[in-house]
Chains A and B, each alone.
Chain A
Amino acid sequence: MSKNIVLKKGLDIPVSGAADLVVSKSMNPSCIAVLPDGIKGLLPRLLVKEGDRVLCGSPVIADKKNPDILLTAPVSGIVKEVVRGEKRKLLAVLIEAEDAIECVHFDTSDVKTALLQSGLWPLIVQRPYGTMADPATSPKGIFVSAFNTAPLAADTEFTLGSEVQAVQRGIDALATLAPVHVSLDGSRKDSAFAKLTGCTLHYFQGKHPAGNVGVQISHISPIQKGETVWTVSLAGLAAIGKLFAKGTYDIRRKVAVCGPAALNTSYVDVLPGTPMKSFISFWGGDATDLRIISGDLLSGIAVGPDGYLGRDAEQVTIIREGYEKELLGWIRPLRYKQFSQDRSYFSWLFPCRKYDMDTNLHGGPRPFLMNDNYYSRVLPMDIYPVFLAKACLAGDIEKMEKFGIYEVLPEDLALCEFVDPSKNYIQDIIAQGIDLMLKEMA
C-alpha cells in the first residue's frame, strides 16, 4: 500500500441535506439533451438536424477544430429540437427517446479510436487549464479521484462500488495511453476500489478539497510548464469501462439529489442530459426562490428547473435563494443559524451541527483585505492563493505561471471563495486567468 497522504488544510462545509444511501427512482425521461456547453475548448458543429433519427452512440456534435472529437446521443430516438442561444450559440440538442434503446456497437480494438468514436473522449479533461483532452498529446499521467469530498457529494462507494469491474476495464484501456493514478479515500479501509490493478493507487485523507483531483495531482506529481496530464471522473472511467466491456455507449449513473431545500434526499439512476423537470418531486413543484444546481454547492452550475443535468454532474443540489435581509446581522454576537469557519462566530462550538444554508452572499464585495493565510488554510496545495488571484486580476502572465496557474482549476480554489470575507468571486478570477493563458499560449 502506498503512502497515506494526510492533508491538514481544508474545510468540510457542514450543510444539511445529505442524500440517503438508497436509489429512490430510475428515470427514463421522454426527452434527453446533448450539451456541448461546459466542455472547455469544444467548438461545436452540429451533425444532425431536427427530425433525424439517431441511435445511442450516434454522433450529434463534432468539434470544429478536431472533427474526430464527437458528442454522441445517449439514447436512440428522433432529434426533436436544436436549442440555440444568443448569437446562435448551440446550447443543446434535444432527442426524443424511444422506449427500446437501440445502440451503435463500436469496434474497441484501438482505444483512442473507440473513445473518440463513441463520444466518450470529451470525458477526459486535460490540465493545465481544464480543457477537453487533445488526442494528439501524450500526457505524463491520467489521474482519477475515486472519492468526493465536496459538500453533500455522492458517495462513490455507493454509486460505483458495484461497478468496480467496469472501472477496472476502464483503467486497463486508459493504461495503454498513459500511466493511470487512482486516488482513494485513506480513511476508508474497506474501499471497493482498493483492489484495482494496472494503476498506481494513492491514499488521501482530509477535509475538502482532498477529493479534488487537482489537489491530489499537486501532491503526486505537480504539473509544470510544458507538461500535460489528463483527468477522468470515476463515473467517466466506469462509462469507458462499459464501452470496452460491452462495445456500447452507456453513461447511465447514480446521481445524488441533495441539499437543504431538497425533499426526499436520495440517489436516482439517471442519464446526464436529463431535464431537471424530471426531478420535480424533489422540490415539490414550486421552484420560486430555489436554486437548482447541477453539481455541488461550490462549483456546480445553477441550471434552474428548466435546465438539464450536466455531463459530469454526480449530484443535484437544491438550495434556497437567500433574498432575505438580516437586520444587524453582522453585529449580532451569536447568529446561531449561520455557519462560519471564522472564530468570530461560534460555529466551532458545534462541530457536528449541520446548517440549513442559503445562497446569501452575507456581505458586500470588497477588495482583498485579509492575509494570504486566511485563504491558504483551506487550500492544501503549495501555492499562494491570494497572490495567484491578484496575478490573474492583473493579467500578469509571468506571475500567474510562477504562482501556479498550471496546477489549478477554479474548483480547487472554491473553498477560498467560500471563506472570503471580502466576497470576491475567486473561481471566476481564476477562470479569467486561465482564459487569458489559453489566449496567450495559443
Chain B
Amino acid sequence: MNKIFEKGGKFYWLHSTVDAFETFLHVPGTVTRKGAHVRDAIDLKRILILVVIAAAPAALFGMWNVGYQHGLAMGREGIHILEYFWFGFLRVLPLYLVSYIVGLGIEFASSQIRGEEVSEGYLVSGFFIPLIVPVDIPLWMLAIAVAFAVIFGKEVFGGTGMNIWNPALLTRAFLFFSYPNYMSGSECWIAFKKGETAVADAFTGATPLALDGASAQYGTGFWDLFIGTVPGSVGETSVIAILLGACLLLWTGIASWKIMCGSIAGALLVGWIGQVAGITDIPCYMQLIYGGFAFGTVFMATDPVTSCQTETGKWIYGLLIGMLCITVRLFNPGYAEGMMLAILLMNTFAPLIDHCVTGAHISRRAKKFKTA
C-alpha cells in the first residue's frame, strides 16, 4: 500500500477503503506470522462470491419476471425473453445501486472507524436485498432501510460475523413495519411505469399467497409457482432457479443441508396438520413453493453467522423456521407471508439453541468422564 495511506500518512483515513480495493484486485502478499505456516487457499471472499453466484439464477430470472408480470398486466402475451429481461433489469438496477452504495458506504466508514479491513460480508447482503423487496419500492425507503439494517443490525455489534440478525432480512423487516402499504396488498408486486395502470380494473397483482383462493390473471398452479411466473419479490418467485443455487451451496458445503431439510420438514409437518385439521385446503407440499419459503430456506436461514453453530442446533433451528413460517401462513390471513419473521425470530433464538446443545454436550462429556 502507498505510504500516504499508512498510519501517520496524509490519507490514513482512507486506508480501509484503499485496502479493500487492493485486496479485491489481488490476494495480498501477506504471509503467516505464527502457528500454521501454510494456509488453505480458501478465504471469505471466495465463499461469499459463491453465495452470490448461487443466487444469480434467481436474480436473473427475477429480472425477466419483472418484465413478464408488467407485460401480463398490460395485457400482452408471450415470453419475450430479452425485452422483458431488459425491462426488469432497468427496474432492478436502481435497487442494486442503492443497496450497494448505501450499504457499502456505511461498511467502509465503520471499518475505517474500527481500523479494520473492510469485510466482504455486505457483498452477499447487498445482493440479496433487492431480491426480497417489491420491485416498485421507492428508492429512498430502500436507502433508509439498508442504512438501518447495516448500522443497527450489524455494525453496532462489531460488523460481519458478529451480527445477530440477517441484515438483508432486517432491511425487509424495517420496510415491512415502517411502510406496510408498500410491502403488502395487491399493488406493489408488479412494476408499472408512471401513469400506467393495469388494463383490466379487476387485475390483481397480489402474490398467490395473498389471493386466498381468488382467481388471478396468471396461473397459480404448481408449475407456474415452481417456474416462478407469478408476482412477488424480485428473486423469490422461481423455485427452480433457487434450487439451482441450493445445489451449489450444498455441494460446496457453504449452506447447511440440515437447516434446509429441517425447514422443509417443519413446513411439511405444519402444512399437513393444517390440511388434516381443515384449516386450509392447500396441499402441504404447495407451501414449499409459495412465496418466500424457498428463497428463505436456501439463502436466508442458512446464513452461517446468524444460524445455529452446532449440528444438532441446525436441525432444531431449521425445523422451527419451517413450522413457524407455515403457522403464520395458516393463522394470519392479514399478512400471509411468514418466512421473514420466522427466520428473524429464529436468528434471535439461535444462540439459545446453541447454548442448550452445547450444555447437553458438556453434561454428556461430564457423564462420560464419570464412567471412564
A and B from one complex:
yes
Q: Is the CB of B362 within 8 A of A418?
A: no
Residues from chain A with a CB closer than 8 A to the CB of B119 are 366-367
User: In the complex, what distance in Å separates the CA atom of A368 from the CA atom of B158?
Assistant: 12
The answer to whether residues A421 and B28 also contact, given A368-B161, A384-B358 and a CB cut-off of 8 A, is no
- List CB contacts (< 8 Å) of A295-348 with chain B: 297-300, 302, 317, 319, 321-331, 335, 338-345
User: In the complex, what distance in Å separates the CA atom of A372 from the CA atom of B36?
Assistant: 19
The answer to whether residues A340 and B42 also contact, given A329-B26, A402-B362 and a CB cut-off of 8 A, is yes
Q: For residue A298, which residue of chain B has the nearest CB?
A: B36
Min C-beta distance of A253 to chain B, whole Å: 22
Q: Is the CB of A342 within 8 A of B40?
A: yes
Min C-beta distance of B364 to chain A, whole Å: 9
Against A, the Cβ 8 Å flags (1 = close, 0 = not) of B31-61 are 1111111111111111101100000000000
Say which one of B131-139, B248-256, B285-293 lies at the interface with A: B248-256
User: In the complex, what distance in Å separates the CA atom of A402 from the CA atom of B23?
Assistant: 38
Main secondary structure of the interface of B (DSSP, over half): loop
Against B, the Cβ 8 Å flags (1 = close, 0 = not) of A412-425 are 00110111111101
Whether a CB of chain B sits under 8 angstroms from the CB of A176 is no
Q: Is the CB of B43 within 8 A of A421?
A: yes
The answer to whether residues A291 and B37 also contact, given A360-B29, A370-B304, A387-B358 and a CB cut-off of 8 A, is yes
Q: Is the CB of A343 within 8 A of B38?
A: no
Residues from chain B with a CB closer than 8 A to the CB of A85 are none
Min C-beta distance of A283 to chain B, whole Å: 15
The answer to whether residues A419 and B34 also contact, given A344-B47, A371-B304 and a CB cut-off of 8 A, is no
Q: Is the CB of B42 within 8 A of A325?
A: no
Q: For residue A377, which residue of chain B has the nearest CB?
A: B253
The answer to whether residues A364 and B252 also contact, given A297-B36, A382-B365 and a CB cut-off of 8 A, is no
Q: Is the CB of B307 within 8 A of A371?
A: yes
Residues from chain B with a CB closer than 8 A to the CB of A330 are 27, 43, 45-46, 49
Whether a CB of chain A sits under 8 angstroms from the CB of B348 is no
Q: Is the CB of B309 within 8 A of A371?
A: yes
How many of chain B's residues touch chain A, expressed as a range?
35 or more
Whether a CB of chain A sits under 8 angstroms from the CB of B372 is yes
Q: Is the CB of B36 within 8 A of A386?
A: no
Residues from chain B with a CB closer than 8 A to the CB of A185 are none
Whether a CB of chain A sits under 8 angstroms from the CB of B177 is no
Whether a CB of chain B sits under 8 angstroms from the CB of A145 is no
Partner of B38, one of A13, A325, A365, A420: A13
Q: Is the CB of A328 within 8 A of B362?
A: no
Whether a CB of chain A sits under 8 angstroms from the CB of B311 is yes
User: In the complex, what distance in Å separates the CA atom of A379 from the CA atom of B4?
Assistant: 44
Whether a CB of chain B sits under 8 angstroms from the CB of A1 is no
Against A, the Cβ 8 Å flags (1 = close, 0 = not) of B17-31 are 000000101111111
Min C-beta distance of B216 to chain A, whole Å: 41
Total interface residues on A, CB under 8 Å, equals 74
Min C-beta distance of B316 to chain A, whole Å: 14
Residues from chain A with a CB closer than 8 A to the CB of B307 are 371
Whether a CB of chain B sits under 8 angstroms from the CB of A173 is no
Whether a CB of chain A sits under 8 angstroms from the CB of B305 is yes
Whether a CB of chain B sits under 8 angstroms from the CB of A293 is yes
Partner of B46, one of A302, A344, A373, A382: A344
Partner of A373, one of B26, B39, B161, B311: B311
Residues from chain B with a CB closer than 8 A to the CB of A386 are 309
Q: Is the CB of B43 within 8 A of A358?
A: no
- List CB contacts (< 8 Å) of A185-239 with chain B: 221-222, 224
User: In the complex, what distance in Å separates the CA atom of A21 from the CA atom of B28?
Assistant: 37
Most chain B CB within 10 A, of A317, A324, A342, A363, is at: A363
Most chain B CB within 10 A, of A15, A365, A414, A418, is at: A418
Partner of B42, one of A302, A342, A357, A372: A342
Residues from chain B with a CB closer than 8 A to the CB of A335 are 41
Whether a CB of chain B sits under 8 angstroms from the CB of A27 is no
Q: For residue B366, which residue of chain A has the nearest CB?
A: A224
Q: Is the CB of B39 within 8 A of A360?
A: yes
The answer to whether residues A364 and B30 also contact, given A371-B256, A371-B309, A384-B310 and a CB cut-off of 8 A, is yes
Q: Is the CB of A342 within 8 A of B253?
A: yes
Q: Is the CB of A423 within 8 A of B43?
A: yes
Q: For residue B303, which residue of chain A has the nearest CB?
A: A369
Residues from chain B with a CB closer than 8 A to the CB of A422 are 44, 161
Q: Is the CB of A426 within 8 A of B358?
A: no
The answer to whether residues A414 and B358 also contact, given A342-B253, A369-B304 and a CB cut-off of 8 A, is no
Q: For residue A376, which residue of chain B has the nearest CB?
A: B311
Residues from chain B with a CB closer than 8 A to the CB of A374 are 253, 304
Whether a CB of chain A sits under 8 angstroms from the CB of B162 is yes
Whether a CB of chain B sits under 8 angstroms from the CB of A280 is no
Whether a CB of chain A sits under 8 angstroms from the CB of B3 is no
The answer to whether residues A367 and B160 also contact, given A291-B37, A323-B31, A360-B31 and a CB cut-off of 8 A, is yes
The answer to whether residues A329 and B27 also contact, given A222-B368, A369-B305, A421-B47 and a CB cut-off of 8 A, is yes
Q: Is the CB of A421 within 8 A of B310?
A: no
Residues from chain B with a CB closer than 8 A to the CB of A423 are 39, 43
Partner of B310, one of A323, A363, A372, A427: A372
Min C-beta distance of B31 to chain A, whole Å: 4
The answer to whether residues A323 and B35 also contact, given A331-B45, A345-B41, A419-B42 and a CB cut-off of 8 A, is no
Partner of B35, one of A322, A367, A410: A410
Partner of A344, one of B25, B39, B50, B161: B50
Whether a CB of chain A sits under 8 angstroms from the CB of B159 is yes
Q: Is the CB of A363 within 8 A of B27?
A: yes
Partner of B37, one of A302, A328, A362, A363: A302
Residues from chain B with a CB closer than 8 A to the CB of A221 are 372
The answer to whether residues A297 and B43 also contact, given A360-B29, A369-B160, A387-B358 and a CB cut-off of 8 A, is no
Residues from chain B with a CB closer than 8 A to the CB of A13 are 38
Q: Is the CB of B368 within 8 A of A425?
A: no
Whether a CB of chain B sits under 8 angstroms from the CB of A394 is no
Q: Is the CB of B31 within 8 A of A361?
A: yes
Min C-beta distance of B212 to chain A, whole Å: 39
Q: Is the CB of A325 within 8 A of B161?
A: no
Q: Is the CB of B305 within 8 A of A222?
A: no
Whether a CB of chain B sits under 8 angstroms from the CB of A428 is yes
Whether a CB of chain A sits under 8 angstroms from the CB of B121 is yes
Whether a CB of chain B sits under 8 angstroms from the CB of A4 is no
- List CB contacts (< 8 Å) of A351-407 with chain B: 357-374, 382, 384, 386-387, 402-404
Q: For residue A410, which residue of chain B has the nearest CB?
A: B35
Min C-beta distance of B290 to chain A, whole Å: 29
Residues on B facing A (Cβ under 8 Å): 23, 25-47, 49-50, 117, 119, 121, 158-162, 251-254, 256, 304-305, 307, 309-311, 314, 358, 361-362, 365, 368-369, 372
Closest 4 CB pairs of A and B: A363-B43, A367-B161, A329-B27, A338-B41
**Contacts A/B (CB < 8 Å), 6 sampled:** A291-B37, A326-B26, A331-B46, A369-B47, A369-B160, A414-B36
Extra A-B contacts (16), CB below 8 Å, given A342-B42, A367-B159: A319-B38, A325-B27, A328-B26, A335-B41, A338-B41, A340-B40, A342-B46, A344-B42, A363-B43, A365-B117, A372-B309, A415-B36, A417-B36, A421-B40, A421-B46, A427-B34
